[in-house]
Amino acid sequence: MGFAIELTDEQWRRVADLFDPPGRRGAPARIPRRQMVDAMLFLGRTGCQWRYLPARYPPWGAVWQQWCRWRANGVWERAMARLAAQVRVRHEREPIPSMVMIDAQTVKGGRYGPTFHNAGGRGGRTIGTKRTILVEILGLPLSARADPARPHDVRAGRDLLCDSLAGLPRVRAIVADRGYRGLRNLASRRNLRLDIKAPPKGQTGFRPIAPLYKVEHAFAQLGRWRRLSRCYEGSEASATAWLEVASVGYLLGRA
């Protein structure tokens, strides 16, 4: 991608049929869908407000309307899953992993007016949203979800797994830290192994836990997308979709 966020021809080829499906009904698009995707990636990467979208991109109102349609149709979610599979194939792995890791982070809300944010996180001191992601062994985000900050990590993780496992038929194990011990019932019902990782007894100070540090690395990469510096969205659907936009941008760089 260039400075202004422009997909290369190869990157666009990987996802073009999702954003601009052949045989689409209705009037021909007035604005090329590739330019729409470029604009949305720019918004996600820079944190630019809709009305300040640079003139080199389509009018912000048209981009926003298309964003709402793609958000409702789950297009970014499908692009995220496809790109993760393609990167895995490049690394000589099966497209669908047999093991996933799960973790969450709580971020502050940065919105005025109606919002889904509430108090949560450590000590209940963060008013914002809880972001939960599934990651495979290469550190690639497979699925993401945004919820109010208050619900426990297990509840948000259970909802994400229930939504995602149908599309991951090879998964046989879930790896997580001690905060996710409450997933045992779900793992048992679905014949999955729940592998809880914990620091060795007597360890002092911080030391990364393998392989869970790859989830933290994925969060760090997504955190470089400034739209995610805080949660500026008014609904869980929009907050989830921006997580997926950042994931697609990150995966395009690795595809």
How many CA atoms, within 13 angstroms, populate the side-chain half-sphere of residue 184? 5
User: Who's near 231: CB < 8 A, 6+ residues apart?
Assistant: 107, 108, 109, 110, 111, 117, 128, 129, 146, 239
Structural contact between residues 8 and 1, judged by C-beta atoms closer than 8 angstroms: yes
pLDDT, position 45: 96
The mean pLDDT of 145-166, rounded to a whole number, is 96
Tokens of 254: 């690795």
DSSP state of 37: H
pTM, rounded to two decimals: 0.93
pLDDT, position 208: 79
The radius of gyration of the chain's CA atoms, rounded to the nearest angstrom, is: 19
What is the rounded average pLDDT for all residues in the chain? 93
* Cis bond before residue 211 (omega within 30° of 0): yes
pLDDT, position 123: 79
- Quick one: pLDDT band at residue 4, thresholds 50, 70, 90? low
pLDDT, position 68: 97
What are the beta bridge partners of residue 198? Answer: none
> How many Å apart are CA 2 and CA 5, to the nearest integer?
5
